[in-house]
Chain A
Amino acid sequence: MTEEKVFRDNKDTSFWDGVARSELRLKKCNACGVVLPPGALFCSECWSSEITVINASGRGRVHSFVVYHRAFSENETPPYGAAVIALEEGPRIVSAVDDTNGLQVGDIVEAVWSSTPAQGPALTFAVVSDVGRKRED
């Protein structure tokens, strides 16, 4: 665990610069074309170190989500949702969807950047379309 943290700590601070400008920055491998999560230092597919920063479109689909009914720290007030969003470029990130009522895996979502990031995460997602939604009612 400790070693992993040191590795992850070797981070690209430009990611947070992007967040400050409401940009979600991903990494794209110049050699094989795969799009990787923001913190990739080299390509985990082909091991090329030729990678470029690209901006995510902000669109994606709900990969999965949970709704917490218990707080594990004083930072959260249950109930609250946490989700994994599969971005349309390929990488998946942890985030939250603004309203989890009726939310389903596969729903199309779009990035919502907070105007008051100091009060919570700068980035959440909102359902933008009923396309692909398998509503029961």
Chain B
Amino acid sequence: MGAELDNWIDMKLKRVDKPIAKICGLGFGELSREYSKSQKELACEAIIAAVADAGLQKGDLDGVLINRSDTNPSDDLPLRLFDDLGFHDLTFGNVLASQAACGVQMIQYAAMAVAHGMAGNIVCVFADTPILPKRRGGDAYAIDLALTNVLGWERQYGLYGAVGAYGLAMRRYMELFSAGPETFGEVAVAARQWAQRSPFAFLTKPMSMDDYMNSKLIADPLRMFDCAFPVNGAGAVIVSAPDSEGGEQNGAAYIWGMGQGHRGYLAYSDYENETETPASVAGKKAYEMAGISVRDIDHAQIYDAFTVTTLLGLEGYGFCGRGEGKDFVADGALAPGGRFPVNTGGGQLSGYYLQGMTQVSEGYLQAAGRAGDRQVENNGWSLVTAQGGRMDYHACLILSPEKVR
């Protein structure tokens, strides 16, 4: 990875003088820790709020992309949303259901569509209700880690879902690279410090490294404070062509680069699923498209469903080499006042878990200069990432407040 990283940094940058599209409005459906509204209701709330935030009218909207969560049946958030919202002449619409990378992927597809004139203003919405009247948030993600392709094999061992899979990744990272729990504590504590500055964040109680170390083990070495904070809610953003009217009042973030990286979870030979990901594939594509290097990035919103995903995201997207994340995050580097601002709204760990929409919303607010008390000093270039599966599906955006270069 070291040599590969150098190749990236030294790669010849092409001259890019205009963005692909812009994000020009953001809206939420009520974020909560209790089940009070359906996914459909939350999605509609978010869409209506996003259109208003962009300074647009219902009639200005000609595209809708829906990202639904795999935690609930597909009928909970269908294309029938168009009925509720009273659309009758959309030129662009779809439901994306390829897991959590879709929070970013739908922005990409919308950007390509507005760039080619298939639509003028597209709303991209994510809604989820992991918390149901009879289901705790964390249990929504308790699904098997299938390595054998033999139905029923994995279930025998009680290796459940996300906490198991990411606990395995943590353990392997710790042993391969001699990292201790404090590496993950650094990520958790930094996220909490940012959360304290965000009006959207749910977990704002101060967290020390000791608090992290004392937090309950769930799937050792994975602790409670290594996990995202699931909420019910929805987020929507408006994606428009760079020269369109949206965002004139509240501000816009211009999309200069986009990338995806995917793999199968291959459980044989020397494929390394736990500590290496195709985030590197997504990053390389996006930096090339934007004509910038990873060194130009001023802050990053990295998908942080677990502390280990922040760490592997930083490595995968080239901020440091493989196994170097533990040094990169040390000494509060990611926290307010640190060397490199990451997940400035508290991320999914301490802010709120709306899958990819968490990073998209914060990336937009920062790039548009709307992040209030937590606004980063230098927001020139930012990276926004999302991932799905067991770190198998990756997508990213490169944003800037600048419309020209």
Q: Using CB atoms and an 8 Å cutoff, list the residues of chain A in contact with chain B.
A: 1, 5, 8-9, 11-12, 15-16, 34-41, 44, 63-73, 75-76, 79-80, 82-84, 90-96, 104-106, 120-121
Contacts and interface: CB of A to CB of B under 8 A. Distances in A.
Chain A at the B interface: SS class: loop
A84 B70 CA distance: 25
B157 A9 contact: no
Interface string B307-322: 0000000000000000
Contact of A37 (B147, B167, B220): B147
A17 B267 CA distance: 22
B269 A66 contact: no
B119 to A, nearest CB: 29
A82 B164 contact: yes
Contact of B267 (A15, A68, A91): A91
B148 A38 contact: yes
B92 interface: no
Interface of B: 70, 139, 142, 145-151, 153-154, 156-161, 163-164, 167-169, 171-172, 175-176, 216-222, 264, 266-269, 274
Contacts of A95: 157
Contacts of A69: 216-220
Of B70, B151, B158, B169, most buried by chain A (CB within 10 Å of CB) is B158
Of A16, A80, A105, most buried by chain B (CB within 10 Å of CB) is A105
Given A44-B264, A66-B219, A72-B161, A94 B153 contact: yes
Contact of A64 (B153, B161, B168, B216): B168
Contact of B157 (A11, A38, A39, A94): A94
A93 B168 CA distance: 13
Contact of B149 (A35, A37, A72): A37
Nearest to B275: A64
Contacts of B175: 64, 104-106
A37 B267 contact: yes
Nearest to B222: A66
A72 B139 contact: yes
B151 A11 contact: yes
B268 to A, nearest CB: 4
B164 to A, nearest CB: 6
Contacts of A72: 139, 142, 158, 160-161
A95 B154 CA distance: 7
Given A93-B148, A94-B157, A34 B269 contact: yes
A94 B147 contact: yes
Contacts of A11: 149-151
11 contacts: A5-B151, A38-B150, A63-B172, A64-B274, A66-B221, A70-B218, A72-B158, A90-B269, A92-B147, A94-B157, A104-B175
Given A37-B267, A70-B218, A65 B150 contact: no
Contacts of A44: 264, 266
Contacts of A68: 158, 160, 164, 218-220
B383 to A, nearest CB: 28
A71 B167 CA distance: 15
Contacts of B267: 37, 84, 91-93
B87 to A, nearest CB: 28
Of A64, A71, A120, most buried by chain B (CB within 10 Å of CB) is A64
B99 to A, nearest CB: 9
Contacts of B146: 8
B159 A105 contact: no
A8 B158 contact: no
A90 B268 contact: yes
Query: Can you list the 10 inter-chain pairs with the closest CB atoms, starting with the nearest?
Result: A39-B149, A66-B167, A82-B159, A105-B175, A67-B220, A66-B219, A76-B158, A64-B168, A121-B156, A64-B172
